[in-house]
Structure 1
Amino acid sequence: MSTRTEGSADGLVRLTVEDGVGHLVLDDPARRNALSKRMSDDLAQAVDAALGLGARALVLSARPPVFCAGGSLDGLLERSTPLAEAYAGMTRLWEAPVPTIAAVGGPTVGAGVSLPLVCDVVVTTPAARFAPRFLDLAIHPGGGHLWHLARRVGPQGAAAMVLCGDALDGEEAVRHGLAWRCVPEADLLPTASRLARRAADRSGPLVRRTKQSLRQGVALSDVSAAAAVELAAQEWSVGRPEFTEAVRRVRAVVAEQRA
Structure 2
Amino acid sequence: MKLLRCVFGDGPPRPGVRRDDGSFVDLTATAVAETDDQSSGFTRALERLGREGTDYLVAAVSDAPEAAIHPSSAVTVVAPLASSGRLIALGDVYTDHLREGGHSLPSVPAQWLVPKTAIVGPDEPIVVPERVREAVTPAVELCLVIGRGGRDIDEADVMDHVAGYTVSNDVTAKTDWPGPMAYKLLDTFSPCGPGITPADQVDDPTSLEMTLKQDGERICSGSSAGMRFSFPFIVRFLSSILELRPGDVISVGDPGGVQEGLTVGSTISASIESVGQLDNPVTSPD
- Where on the TM-score scale, by shorter chain, does this alignment land: which range? under 0.3
TM superposition score normalised by structure 2: 0.23
The structure in which a higher percent of residues are helix is 1
TM-score, structure 1 normalization = 0.24
Q: Answer with 1 or 2: which has the greater Rg.
A: 1
Q: Between Structure 1 and Structure 2, which shows a larger proportion of strand residues?
A: 2
